Amino acid sequence: MDKSEDGAIGVVGALVRAAFLVDAVYAESAREYGLTPQQGQLLCVLMGRSYVMGELGGMLRLAKSSLTGLVDRSERNGLVRRASCEADARAVRVALTAEGAVLAERFHAETCRRIDGLPAGLSAPEREALAGLLGRVVLDNEAPPVFGEPG
């Protein structure tokens, strides 16, 4: 059961339900930009820099075949490009194209705006406390930086 007798939601229920909320916002935003949620995530990861396929697989927690398919589809849509890795000729580096960078910025900004609205009922100190606590959970569990802060 999610709720205690006083109606409060426990930490497990709250985290799972919050993840569902964020996933729903993310999926809706991706759909409006003509992306799958996975493509949106890929574009957001690549906003900071290019990555070799192995790094991307680890960050996105995708098997090699799933990542290859995701990059293939994104490349066909003109959003990413592959290049050989200078440090390792066997490795392939993935980067945003100019079109992908523009779309990534727009998608990221809109998704951040929507997610920022989820805790709209909280005061500024409550939002700060929530960010601090969730930040600790993320860092303690070494979650990869797949989505950066706005700005």
* Tens digit of each residue's pLDDT (9 = 90 or more) over 42-68: 999 999 899 999 999 999 999 999 999
Tokens 């406390």 belong to 129
Confidence band (pLDDT; 50, 70, 90) for 1?
A: very low
- Domains of the chain, each with CATH number or no CATH: 11-116 (1.10.10.10)
* Tens digit of each residue's pLDDT (9 = 90 or more) over 98-148: 999 999 999 999 999 999 999 999 999 999 999 999 999 999 999 888 777
- Residue 3 Cα distances to 7, 15, 139, angstroms: 5, 13, 27
**Alpha-carbon distance 75 to 79, whole Å?**
6
* Tens digit of each residue's pLDDT (9 = 90 or more) over 128-140: 999 999 999 999 9
148 CB neighbour count, 10 Å cutoff? 12
What does pTM read for this prediction?
0.86
Confidence band (pLDDT; 50, 70, 90) for 6?
A: low
